[in-house]
Structure 1
């Protein structure tokens, strides 16, 4: 046996040496090389590719079918180049060489994905912006939307500090008064997703791995969004994921970083607190000092932590079985939050298959994604951390609350009762975090299968079918310890509840696309089709295991069905005059039959006039004027309002019963719900004028946009007249408001070196001015909105005709001769010699007037440096932290002392009830932020035999600085109300990107 194995190994070795010897002998011999050149994207042949022997004048071009033939020597290098594709060099090792070329990033930028199709950027008539992978924001990006934060004029993305946190996304300020309905439609590979997050998930995008994103297209005006009709009033963000290719490549990406707290609210230290309590005892004859301890505890530092996060991604792409373009990727993100016990973890896998069949007449695209999200939620304890006594320790071994310090009284019988917690005193914030475990596990499967068939007998016509699927399942529980102050003494066993949620989104699109090139720089592109989408949701909440009075609930919501008929025509004449017409008719199951359908037309014109006006200019390389008009719709008023036109009833609680009938049995009470058969579509009409420009052969390019939007029949939950309905509040069509503004975008190549590793610098700058005004409200009624802390039912914002939405509704503060606010002194604005609600006025609002973004990229030799800046001006913030906590009376609010912000020394305000609605607390929230700065070093190709391989190391800082006059922690708050927000961390990170 050993001899036989030895003989086999010798034969193998002989074969290898024979092959090497023949290769050496043949090296340098002249042969005829033949082959085919194809695209890695769709496997289609590329005609006209230049095939040149490197360092020579010998070359040929591929024919119409992508074939070539050239005489070369073994070992020669063939250079394959073609406009729009990456140049590739291949060594001659045999007489047959088939080569795949990858589309260049610059070429991909020239074609942008729009609704149900694509268009060359130079031929676009609507207002849209495309951001590709090479221009994405760098740093620790957890959710996809932050890849383009600050990159698009008119787009604002504000992300909270929680790990995996969702974002408030607005395009041109939104188009509705209902805050949740201002979110743009998000489309992933042709699948519109639900803007309502499944319970237990961080956000609608938290399960999507940013590393799988290839590009974004942001559609802003109606002429570009109307093809999506019913959900496009707030703009559309199209996400395109990475596709399978024939060109083999593999990669690994690693990131490791540390999250740190930047700052906290300035409250009295332990020594300062002892001094001020002693001073108040002396003034008032009280003895609160006797309750103070000997500790020195910064409770804000105690509830926060520095944490290490990590992000790993791997991918491999190439031709499976040598014929099937494929991409497979996996990723894992682990992000502990700043707040104790807060955690986010995501595992994801993505598969993309892109085969072409029947001589490229049938193109198939399959995208399948699976994600697992794990969350542990930490309830907000900032309020308790601000107010808890800093002289007390975190832990107390004698405490009946699990060893955590807590103010309490114990009766002589040793049993806690409702009096022992000493009223509404602050609870130990560390105990509240550590003694509660609220976790959720989410599984999401989403993707699409798209088939495009170009008819053999009529190749100008293609039939497309797109099937989309998005399903999320969530399960979780909330467990509060038996010795927690949040449940004792009323529920000494603690609390334990569970829930299960289920969401499903199914899509069917079918449409025809006719594309005819007339050969005179003119073409027509027509698309028409049908869309069906169905959303289903189910929610289950268990009873509290330790509370016999609680009940389990099962809510199977009425499915939402959306049906659309759509069409679009693009016409180009002489590559100069462009026309786009689109129409969509949408139906929704949310409204009654009489109001179910909405019609959404749009039209746009464009004229490329640089050659007409500047035919010989070496400066102006592009000028295009665009005019657009269109109507878009809105019907998203939340999952709780799916069938308001029907008669609906809900059963009362167990105690809501009456006795009667046979046997005098208990009969549950059915309660009628709000009903509105007249509810109809909210509609937004948009006018847009744009000028695209390019200078110095596109080294400087950009656009200027002017837009005007008018939203009519606004959907809003408003009060109903007494006796007119079954409740006093419900969704209605209440009025109209307008948005107008101007946008500016500038892309500049500041310096481009002619040397391969010379200095290069380019930047992007964008800015937008937006003004919104409420024009009309039904019955001239005003609406109070914007819940605040510090009082029951307190609302600080309003919707009033003639004003911007969400304006702050406050009293005008009066100041003394030293410019200090006088407590409770307000201007009598209506002159009736009394101060009441009639003296409130609208003062500023939380939305910015101007938003800006700036991104800079520099490289020199193997180094690269990039940073991102964002700015907002004209946005104001209601400082609810100070308005409800910076009052002297709160030093001894109940039975025990409590801490307050040191800003109380600036006002000496005593009572919160007299100052909460003062405009003193409305502060200018304008800011300049550096979101990220990253320094990288690319070692280049370190793997022999792999031309595309590279290794890049990077070092960066996230949330670098914020320049602002706002006195709170962070001026960037949702809705303009700052009430103990989850702080955004500063992160220090290192990363490695390896390509094989």
Structure 2
């Protein structure tokens, strides 16, 4: 009994001693970058299962012994370890972002992976890496940031961009990548009144981009993935409360103008070369480009609130944004109002998750006639903008004593812009709801169901002032009204999606397995209604014409297997079977397989403990993707027997009754999928504990059965040309990316990233091996300047070789006789370069010193050619006389001294110039004030310049042609913008 008492006494003393040694540790866990509290962060005593999680406000409390190590962790952030001492009672922890990013989550089709485990060529660009500045449309957040991706945008406010991933995969079908927003693939067809498919998306709502570049990564999307995939993920809700307000003020100026003759120089030219027109000259000194362009002020603001509803149980995010962007071209304007809601509840012990994203935007545009840019170059600089005696609204115009406009007279470009009101508006809703359930009785299996909707309703009008010069007909007199001065339209684009899939995930001893399989259904609908000749005179009213709705349905079955062996060897197998209503039953379904293999070499024994190599992975991929995106109406009708009804102006009269005529249209029931086979080999590397990271990719693509407009034999169809599957086309290239944390200390961080892409594209086969001329140009009676030819790059410039005299001056009308037959004709045209650059590059630098930050970006393009159609169409002294009226011409004429334009001169190689350039896109400097008030966690004030400078030998305005076709026909100039902004976090 005494022994038993001694035992209990000893046990009591031991417990008492243990209790006395325990320390109550409490504090708050925050994210270092934002200062925001982190709910549900893990706090664990190292080496034990004892731990806790932070609450809604990031607070925690835990009992620990002196000498214990507390481990603080949160997804996506570096874990932090702290030793508990006798003085430890309050311990506040700020977790840093994981700089290595090997475990960063990358969104792929119907799932996610990590950078470490990706087998395909996938690049992620997160919000921390986005381009800064006056970003109006989403795609410009990543311009120049990713190897193999180019984004060409005009200077028009809110305008769309030409996006190319690895140069595209087709010749005349779509080369646009598939864009997926929160799992919903969207159509590149926009409703009338909108500027682009991405104009309605608020860039401030975007959390990340995932760019799938090779077929092994993109083949899960099958029929629409030949040109790559851009997956946009918007910001989600979270439990901790945070409020952010961003505002940007920009001042836009014109960076440069096209050089034309001043008023005094023009008077001299007219007196010397066209003296008969001297009496037509005025007394003014007008720079018409200065008159049609203007300095503007832009303003963008965004407000977002994140927090947990119902006591933190329902993570939510609510956002609102407004953007006002007047264009530098007179009357052009873009306004956008956006609202977003994200709800991300999790229930049933995290077995059942719901992700809801809903967005509504209102886009309002006023479109300016960009043809007036060229008109301003040509208009007489000795004339004033205004004329009080003018019957055309007080603007100077050419009219006779009867008040009629003079035949063939040009219109005052300022008047044309101000007297035309071309407006459009689009209300767009897009969103998705996802149900993700991990089975309780079988937790290795998840069932996912997604419902998506993208609906755009557009409307607008084009109203011309009745006093406008353009609408008058010669001889009608000033009292007569203008015809066709009003038109209205309505437009609808609707995209509905349903998909469901199962995901099975299982970890065995040495094998990780993930199997995905499902079904996807999407329906696209569009229609347009237009009303013309609607003015104040009832007898001119024409009933609206409405196109029949065009429905396109895509149905798909897909599957994917991800297999990992010993965390060293990774294999991905993908298969998708797509059906499209654009094809007949026999060719409706396409099969798109893909496979990829990755080897984590750094996990092998000979490298596992290396102090130099921290990451080394080899990737090999292959896949087949499809293409069915072509002109909607043409491809929709191509396999069907169709009848076209004539316009009201083309009727046949039987007796006294006018009858509309009907004609059968082109039909080809044999058209089928265009297919692209892709091969990719890549290496991902990291050295010195990821201080330097990089990627090298080599790729090859071959497209066959190209969807192409081609001629047909006479009498073989109801048209002389139509869509056919002809030809082959290949692309190959190398991509290189490298990034380095040059300095990474607590107070000073400097990161530099660089990417370069080498690209070579070639036409391998065309129908009957015949050339196809493309690339419509201006000037003369029209014509083409480019060609598709076997063995050459697509859209190569097809020109005559200019001859020069001994002094190096071009000889007008003299060209080299390449075939030696003594005659200069079309057979003497040759290929001189193409619009594709040999190399594109991007450079980004981010520097942070304490609270200061500085960032800048450069882009470069080398080896691309540009056809200067401004000079080739207008650079002739004879054009000083435009139908008896003086007209200005570019000063570039003084370098050629060409007198008259001919069909051969306008195709001279002298107008094909080197379009290589180096552009500094932006430079931004900011300062962040932290903890300046109880309710304000940080305020960042910043300033910067966008479109800082351009270095190029190109003689035109800008060698970066928005369409990417390399033909410069007076583009809308990109403004230089001086920026001021504030980011406030509460």
Tell me how far 1:945 sits from its aligned partner.
Answer: 6.4
The answer to whether the aligner puts 1:572 opposite 2:564 as a matched pair is yes
Equivalent residue number for residue 942 of structure 2: 954
For the pair 1:966 / 2:954, whether they are aligned, the reply is: yes
The CA deviation at 1:303 is 0.2
Alpha-carbon spacing, 1:34–1:893, altered in 2? closer, same or farther (3 Å): closer
1:431 matched to which residue of 2? 415
Matches for 1:537-576 after TM superposition, within 5 Å: 537-546=526-535, 548=540, 552-576=544-568
Secondary structure of the structure 2 residue equivalent to 1:181: coil
- 1:874 maps to 2:863: yes
1:894 aligns with 2:880: no
Distance (whole Å) between structure 1 residues aligned to residue 958 and residue 884 of structure 2: 33
Q: Structure 1, residues 727-785: CA drift from partner, whole Å, max 9, x if none? A: 122111111010001110101111112xx32x221111000100000000112222111
Distance 1:581 1:639 in 2: 32
Aligned to 1:159: 153
* Matching of residues 715-734 of structure 1 within 5 Å: 715-734=707-726
CA contact (8 A) 1:60 1:70 kept: no
| 2:892 aligned residue (903, 910, 926) | 903
The one of 761, 775, 779 equivalent to 1:790 is 779
Distance 1:507 1:792 in 2: 47
Q: 2:171 aligns with which of 163, 177, 182?
A: 177
Q: How far apart are residue 558 of structure 1 and its match? A: 2.4
Match of 1:682 in 2: 674
Q: Which residue of 1 aligns with 2:908?
A: 918
Calculate the TM-score normalised by the size of structure 1: 0.90
| 2:387 matched residue in structure 1 | 396
What SS does the aligned partner of 2:196 have? Answer: coil
Which residue is equivalent to 2:518?
529
**In 2, are the aligned partners of 1:702 and 1:744 still within 8 Å (CA)?**
yes
Aligned to 1:123: 117
* Superposition deviation, residue 487 in structure 1: 0.5
Give a deviation string over 1:791-814, Cα, whole Å, max 9, x none.
Answer: 344111111111110111111111
- Partner of 1:273 in structure 2? 266
Counterpart in 1 of 2:612? 619
TM-score (norm 2): 0.90
1:843-889 per-residue CA deviation (whole Å, 9 max, x = no partner) reads 11111111101100111121110000000111110000000001000
Aligned pair partner of 2:455 in 471, 482, 504:
471
Show the counterpart of 2:760: 771
Q: CA RMSD in A?
A: 2.9
CA displacement at 1:517 relative to structure 2: 1.7
Contact 1:704 1:743 in 2 (8 A): yes
Out of 65, 70, 75, which is 2:62 matched to? 70
Does 1:502 pair with 2:492?
Answer: yes
Q: Which residue of 1 aligns with 2:737?
A: 745
Does residue 209 (structure 1) correspond to residue 202 (structure 2)? The answer is yes
* Superposition map of 1:359-398 within 5 A: 359-380=349-370, 381-398=372-389
**C-alpha distance in 2, partners of 1:272/1:79?**
78
Q: Distance in 1 between matches of 2:101 and 2:738?
A: 20
User: Equivalents in 2 of 1:857, 1:99: separation in Å?
Assistant: 25
Change (3 A) 1:79 1:572: closer
Match in the other structure for 2:601: 609
Matched residues in 2 for 1:991 and 1:836: separation?
Answer: 59
CA shift in 2, pair 1:61/1:145, >3 Å:
farther
Alpha-carbon distance in structure 2 between the residues aligned to 1:200 and 1:945: 42
Distance 1:921 1:664, change over 3 A: closer
Asked if residue 939 in structure 1 is aligned to residue 929 in structure 2, the reply is yes
Residue deviations 1:175-197 (CA, integer Å, cap 9, x gap): 0001x600000000000000112
- Structure 2 residue 231 is the aligned partner of structure 1 residue 238: yes
The 1-side partners of 2:269 and 2:846 are apart by: 53
**2:215–2:625 contact (8 Å) kept in structure 1:** yes
- CA distance in structure 2 between the partners assigned to 1:910 and 1:79 by the alignment: 81
Q: From 312, 316, 320, give the equivalent of 2:305.
A: 316
Q: 1:399-451 deviations in whole A, cap 9, x for unaligned?
A: 1111001122233xxx52xxx4232x321100000000000111000010001
Please give the alpha-carbon distance, in whole angstroms, between the structure 2 residues aligned to 1:718 and 1:360: 57
1:474-524, Cα deviation, whole Å (9 max, x unpaired): 11000011111110136733501100001100000100001112254x311
The C-alpha deviation readout for 1:15-72, integer Å capped at 9, x for no partner, is xxxxxxxxxxxxxxx99689999999xx9996963479xxxxx999526999986249
Offset at residue 894 of structure 1 (A): 1.4
C-alpha distance in 1, partners of 2:595/2:52?
40
Partner in structure 2 of residue 928 of structure 1: 918
Q: 1:986 aligns with which of 973, 976, 981?
A: 976
Distance 2:553 2:78 in 1: 44
Task: Work out whether residues 33 and 71 of structure 1, in 8 Å CA contact, stay in contact via their aligned partners in 2.
Answer: yes
Using the TM superposition, name which of 686-695 and 613-622 deviates more. Answer: 613-622
1:488 equivalent to 2:476? Answer: no
Q: 1:487 to 1:523 in 2, by over 3 A?
A: same
Other structure's SS at 1:264 match: coil
The offset of 1:466, in angstroms, is 0.8
Distance in structure 2 (CA, Å) of the matches to 1:482 and 1:805: 46
Return the alpha-carbon distance in structure 1 between the equivalents of residues 324 and 893 of structure 2.
40
Q: State the Cα distance separating 1:665 from its structure 2 match.
A: 5.5
Match among 440, 443, 447 for residue 456 of structure 1: 440
Distance, in Å, in 1 between the alignment partners of 2:394 and 2:71 is 74
1:409 and 1:551 map into 2 onto residues whose CA distance is 36
In the other structure, the counterpart of 2:16 is none
Residue 907 to residue 550, structure 1, CA distance change in 2 (3 Å): farther
Task: Judge conservation of contact 1:44–1:360 (CA < 8 Å) in 2.
Answer: no
CA distance in 2, matches of 1:309, 1:109: 39
**Of residues 278, 283, 295 in structure 2, which corresponds to 1:289?**
278
Aligned 1:216-231 pairs, distance under 5 A:
216-231=209-224
- Give me the whole-angstrom Cα distance separating, in 1, the residues matched to 2:543 and 2:870: 36
CA 1:383/1:64 → structure 2, altered by over 3 Å: closer, same or farther?
closer
Contact (CA 8 Å) 1:445, 1:470: kept in 2 or not?
yes
Quickly say closer, same or farther: Cα 1:83–1:327, change in 2 above 3 A. closer
Identify the residue that residue 255 of structure 1 maps to in structure 2. 248
Deviations 1:669-692 (A, max 9, x none): 211111110010000000101011
Contact 1:48 1:61 survives alignment (8 Å): no
Call closer, same or farther: CA 1:89–1:625 in 2, change over 3 Å.
closer
Structure 2 unmatched ranges of 5 or more = 1-21, 83-88
Structure 2 CA distance, aligned partners of 1:613 and 1:270?
76
Which deviates more from structure 2 when the two are superposed, residues 828-837 or residues 682-691?
828-837
Deviation per CA, 1:246-268: give whole Å up to 9, x if none: 01100100100100001111111
Give SS of 1:556's match: coil
Q: 1:622–1:884: structure 2 CA closer, same or farther, 3 Å change rule?
A: same
Shift in Å, 1:922 = 0.3
Q: Once the 2 structures are TM-superposed, how far is the Cα of residue 612 of structure 1 from its aligned partner?
A: 4.3
Say whether the 8 Å CA contact 1:36–1:45 is kept in structure 2: no
Report Cα offsets for 1:260-303 as digits up to 9, x if no partner. Answer: 0011111111111111111124xxxx431111111100000000
Shift of 1:832: 1.4
Aligned with 1:458: secondary structure? coil
The equivalences for 1:91-110 within 5 A come to 110=104
The alignment partner of 1:952 has SS state of strand
Call closer, same or farther: CA 1:664–1:267 in 2, change over 3 Å.
Answer: closer
